[in-house]
Structures are given as structure tokens and as C-alpha cells.
Structure 1
Amino acid sequence: MKKAAARHAQHRQEIADDVRDQKRERILEAAEDLFFRHGYAGTTIADIVDELGVTKPYLYYYFNNKNEIFETLCWRSSVACLTSMRFGADDARPAVEKLRDGLHRFAAANIAYFKAGTFAYREGAALDPALMKSLRAMARRFYRELGALLEQARKSGDCDFDNAKLTALAIGGVATSLYTWYKPDGSIAPGDMVDQLTRIMLKIAGAQPAPAKTGQKRKATTSKKAQP
């Protein structure tokens, strides 16, 4: 009886946590759009609750203030995008295969977080200096990891470029310019956009895309469900 009661209690807690996560995600999605359209200073807590059709106490149950919402959006988008070139020490695949995989993950994350992904460099002044320092360190590590992988792929004869640092920066620039032109409801579906961006970045690196597998469809973009 005790074990059954414990399992029942755990199940109820899991349901409650899931509902809480869904409500928290709804707040983040609404705030992300408002911050993207109106900027940090131009968006208030009142704007967010009006957009959601809820009360301020409802929002304050999940977040302490507007800055916490903004920093959460910045952090999780940065983690999703800037950790895409990390691979386990036991990953023995050729460098070019990891490069293809990493660039696809990078493209997928940038499409999934294309609004919040711009906040750190568009409105860095709104972020806590310690957080901004962490984000910059994460970005530097991303370019080091990408540069190292490019060098390995060039050494194996699978990439053709002149300067690894410049090539890595050019690849990063493909993603950082998204906010100026990308529209999720445009003529190119998000999954197809990810594939096209991946091919463009591979071309910058002088690498060939992965051979197509018959009957295999690539999954759509990275989900925002994962939290940092």
C-alpha cells in the first residue's frame, strides 16, 4: 500500500511539474515575441500579462521580474546554439561527420531560437555583467571548438578553406543575421530552412553535405522544451 501511494504521489507531482513547465513556457514565448518586437525597455510586465490574458500574480508565481524572464531567454538560446559543436570524447566519427552534425544542430537551434538568440548582442546592456561575461566565454569556446573541428577536417582532406578563424566567423555570421530576414511563416518551412542553412555553412567550410539516405527524412528543428 505504501509503495502504491508513493507511486501515485510521484505521478501527481510529475503531472503538476509538467503543467507548471507548460505555463512557464507560455510566458517565455509571449515575452520573447514582445522583447523581439519592442525591445527590453519597450516591454513591460503589463504588456506580457496583457498578451497572455493573465494577471500579474500569475506571472510572478513563475518569475520574479522582467529581467529574470529576459535573462532566461538569453541564456537558454545561447546554450542551445553555442554548445552545438561539442562532442563526447568517445565520439570517434571523422571530423567532417561531426562538422556536418554540429552545423545542422547549430542551424536548428538558431531557427528555433531566432528571436531570443539576438537579445544578447542587441541589448547586452540589459543583462547582468556576470551573465554577459558567461555568454561571451561560451561564444569564444564555440568558435574555438568550431575552428578546431574545421582544422581537423581540412587536415583529413574533407574541407577546403584558407583561414580557420575567418571561416568560423563567417559560418557564425550566417546565423547572427537571421533576425534581419527570417520569417517562420515564410515560403520555406523551418525544417527545410535548417537543411539549407546547413548546406550553406558547409559550403563556406569547403565541405560536401552528407550523402542522402533513401527514405530517410530529417527531423524538424530543435525543440524549445529543453531548459538549461
Structure 2
Amino acid sequence: MGAPQKLRAEVAAYKRRRILEEASHLFFQHGYGSTTLDMVAERLHVTKPFIYSYYRNKSELLFEICQSGIQLSLAALDEALGATVGPLERLKRMVDMVARLVIENQEYIVVYQREEKNLQPADARAIRVMRKEFDRRVAALLREGAEAGVFEIEDASLTAASIDGMITWLSVWYVPSGRLSVSEIVSHTIKLVLKMVAPSARN
């Protein structure tokens, strides 16, 4: 790709990202049903046709917002699991990275939780596949740790889904002005997860 084409691609990506950010903010504040593309355009100081040049409709915007969170989580999981350390340290890194990501992208995660019911069926299925992949890979890590004797779990898949739920729920109750900092919340979450999987003698 030549320099002009690369620049155009970067500009287009930036515009798409800005549309998503403003749409996410409005969905978060007012709900998907009460938000119109006119409202998104107004926040961006553009016309509605400008939005249509990047997204087909409001439904596509919702899908892009909803899948962004799980895509970021999978990327963080890849990085954590790729570390050349034992399963315990990889689990700690995964919780740390994904918990911070969930808090930093609070609006996107909350919009997905609230508005999943408004996704097109095919879009909802695609996101569920990604979420199942996340849980599957965490479960594999838990089984590895159990075989190494550092974890004690009865059901790896159920435990993975529970860890996923615990981390995802941070987006619902986290308040930037709350008494705990992001680092304190993440540290507490790591401790809770480690208690869930620790061998009985360590509980």
C-alpha cells in the first residue's frame, strides 16, 4: 500500500472509530432504542449521510460496538497466555489485563450487556462464538494449572465462565469517582480469582 492509500485508510479508520465512540456514548446514556442516527450525527457535527458512508445502519453500529469489547479481550488473552511463565502467573496476567480493559472500555461492555437483545440474530451468534472461545481458552489454562497441581477446580468450563462473568461485571458497578482506584479493583479481582482456583490447603 502506497503512502496516499495508507493515509486514506488511516483517516477512514479514525472516522469509523469516532462514529463508534459517539454512538456508544449515546447508547450508554439513552439506550439503543432511544438513540437515533441524527443524534449521533449531531454529536459529531456531521450529516447523517456521512455516517451512512461508513456504516449501513444503526444495527451495524451496535454490532461493531458489542464485538469490540470481546475482540479486545481475546487480544489481551492472547498476550497473557503467550507469556513464557507458569499457569498461575498467566492467569494473574490475564485477569489483570482483561479487568483493566473492561474498566477502560466500560461503555462498550455495558452497551453489549444491555443491548445484546437488539442485535441481529447472526450478529448475536457471532459474538457468542467469540465469548465461548474466550471461556474455552481460559478453561484450558485452568486444566493445565490443575494438572500441574497449582489449581484445584471441579469443573474448568464452569470456573472459566464464572471468572469471565466476574471480570465483565466490573463494567456495571465501576464508578470513576468511587473510593477504589482501578489498580485496587484489579488487585482485588485477581485475589478473588486466585481464591476460586487455589488448592484446598491454601484456602
Q: Does 1:143 align with 2:112?
A: no
Q: Which residue of 2 aligns with 1:36?
A: 28
Q: Which residue of 2 aligns with 1:26?
A: 18
- 1:84/1:103 contact within 8 Å kept: no
| Deviation sequence 1:51-94 (CA, Å, 0-9, x none) | 22222122222222211111111112122224543479986532
Pairing partner for 1:54 from 16, 28, 46: 46
Q: Which residue of 2 aligns with 1:101?
A: 93
Once the 2 structures are TM-superposed, how far is the Cα of residue 191 of structure 1 from its aligned partner?
A: 5.2
Q: Does 1:117 align with 2:109?
A: yes
- 2:80/2:93 contact within 8 Å kept: no
Q: 1:87 to 1:42 in 2, by over 3 A?
A: same
Q: Does 1:45 align with 2:34?
A: no
Distance 1:191 1:25 in 2: 27
Aligned-partner SS, 1:54:
coil
Structure 1: where are the runs of 5+ without partners?
A: 1-8, 208-228
Which one has the largest radius of gyration?
Answer: 1
TM-score by length of 2: 0.80
Q: Which residue of 2 aligns with 1:128?
A: 120
Distance 2:163 2:81 in 1: 24
Q: Does 1:68 align with 2:53?
A: no
TM-score by length of 1: 0.73
| Deviation sequence 1:29-63 (CA, Å, 0-9, x none) | 11111111221111110111122222212222222
Distance 2:177 2:55 in 1: 30
Pairing partner for 2:190 from 198, 202, 207: 198
Aligned-partner SS, 1:115:
helix
Distance 2:180 2:83 in 1: 33
- 2:99/2:168 contact within 8 Å kept: no
Q: Which amino acid aligns with 2:9?
A: D
Bigger shift: 161-170 or 102-111? 161-170
Q: Which residue of 2 aligns with 1:180?
A: 172
| Sequence identity (%) | 31
Number of equivalenced pairs: 199
Q: Which amino acid aligns with 1:42?
A: S
